[in-house]
Amino acid sequence: MQLICSRTIASLDAQSLAPTEAREALFRVDDGFLLYLSDGATAESEERVVRLGLREALVWLNEEPQEAGSFWT
């Protein structure tokens, strides 16, 4: 597994409305890519791992700053 790119996204906690930072990281694996998503640093943070193909990984890498976080939906 190789880290390709990671980024943080300023966001608000849905419960407390406190500012937090969501994290995203793209990893290259033998048969494609994995995208790690974490919505913050709290104990109740939601984390996901999504398998991506080459096209989806390129879309994620080339997202505009205002589109960051689009893979959460």
d(CA 1, CA 16): 35
pLDDT digits (tens, 9 = 90+) for 47-70: 889 999 999 999 989 887 666 655
Q: Is the pTM of this model over 0.85?
A: no
Q: How many domains does the chain have?
A: 1
**Domain of 28, in residue numbers:** 2-72
Residue labelled with tokens 């913050």: 40
pLDDT digits (tens, 9 = 90+) for 29-51: 999 999 998 877 666 677 889 99
